[in-house]
Amino acid sequence: MSLRRRLGAELRQWYWWRTLRRIQAEGAGTAFRRWRQWSQVLATAPVRADAPGRSLVEVHLLCHRGDHLCAIWALKTLYRTSGLRWPAVIHVQGVCTAAMQRRFRAHVPDARVIQQDEADARVLQALADRHPRLLDARRQSPFMMKLIDPVLLGSAERIVILDSDVLFFRDPRELRKHVEQAPADAWLFQRDPASTYNVTEDVAASALGIRIPERVNSGIAVVPRSLVDFDLCEQLLEHPEVRRPSGWIEQTLFALCAGARGRVEYLSPSYLISLERGLDYGAFTARHYAGPSRALLTEEGMPYALLQGCLGLPLHG
């Protein structure tokens, strides 16, 4: 068996092992209801966007096999509620199955889908000589693909970063206004309930010489592509806390780059991050179901999005 086939078989085995462990943890009934809820996006018509390379802005989303249906929800609710046609780029971490490829082609047909093998080859070529720490951080944490890959593989001046656990419920006018009108050095983030970084503000100031902006969350973000400074990131990754492969490593580097290069703006509270249940969805433009709130994506967010028509018309309606 070739190395590629053997690695593919190992990844598939790992995926099914992880899936079974997840079903065991949440229960078969809950897992089935979640799958059925997520799959409803496949019964709605596709969204259209402009082709990458023809716009000053691109939407970049990182997903994997386990959350690719959520990624389609995120993109469809963005495009349906806004009427925007910003080019979309989907970065797939890990295996991209034939079924995933068919779904992406059917539901976001204009999106550019970048698979792991293609991304790895191009990133290795770009970073191996000058940025070995950055390359190593990407190997250790897939979250680093969210910071590195859109910069290297994208083409637009502004990058809209979108997590797969985000839903839009109304026209994101505030997001649109920033993309269209903000100065070239302006970064835009959601405001986290608390600062979640690999380093504290005091360490950033004393050890790194950067005043890190507080409470940056990159679930929905607008990043000036030229200001994601890989030389600076390479230097920052010398610090052992910065390079710790946590779930916040890329968010830490986004915040440090923004603190050192440009200025930070925040989306209003209507772009919600919260652990609370049963909130008034009529007050939200979008919600990022981060961390422990992830279950609410299925239980509250998706049913509300369907009720409000945020996915558009049925596929055969």
What's the pLDDT tens digit per position in 41-73? 999 999 999 988 778 999 999 999 999 999 999
Residue 47 belongs to domain with CATH number? 3.90.550.10
The percentage of the chain sitting over the pLDDT mark of 90, rounded to a whole number, equals 85
9 assigned to some structural domain: yes
314 assigned to some structural domain: no
317 assigned to some structural domain: no
CA–CA gap between residue 127 and residue 141 (Å, rounded): 16
Q: What is the pLDDT of residues 117-164, one digit of tens each?
A: 999 999 999 999 999 999 999 999 999 999 999 999 999 999 999 999
37 assigned to some structural domain: yes
Question: Which pLDDT score is estimated for 21?
Answer: 53
Question: Which pLDDT score is estimated for 17?
Answer: 38
User: Which of 7-46 are b and which e, b meaning 16 or more Cβ less than 10 Å from the residue's Cβ?
Assistant: eeeeeeeebeeeeeeebeeeeeeebeebeebbebbeebbb
Question: Which pLDDT score is estimated for 3?
Answer: 43
Number of domains in the chain: 1
Read off the tokens for 21.
């462990």
- The structure's pTM equals 0.90
187 assigned to some structural domain: yes
Q: What is the pLDDT of residues 19-34, one digit of tens each?
A: 445 544 555 667 768 8
Question: Which pLDDT score is estimated for 264?
Answer: 97
Question: Which pLDDT score is estimated for 300?
Answer: 97
Average pLDDT across the chain, whole number: 91
Q: What is the pLDDT of residues 244-262, one digit of tens each?
A: 999 999 999 999 999 999 8
Question: Which pLDDT score is estimated for 25?
Answer: 54
Report, in angstroms and rounded to the nearest whole number, the Rg of the chain calculated over CA atoms: 19
User: Predicted confidence band at 212 (pLDDT cuts at 50, 70, 90)?
Assistant: very high
Mean pLDDT of 272-289: 96
315 assigned to some structural domain: no
Question: Which pLDDT score is estimated for 5?
Answer: 52
Question: Which pLDDT score is estimated for 52?
Answer: 82
Q: Is the pLDDT of residue 13 over 70?
A: no
| Domain with 24 in it | 3-307
273 assigned to some structural domain: yes
Question: Which pLDDT score is estimated for 28?
Answer: 62
- Cβ count within 10 A of residue 201: 16
Q: What is the pLDDT of residues 93-121, one digit of tens each?
A: 999 999 999 999 999 999 999 999 999 99
User: Predicted confidence band at 7 (pLDDT cuts at 50, 70, 90)?
Assistant: very low
12 assigned to some structural domain: yes
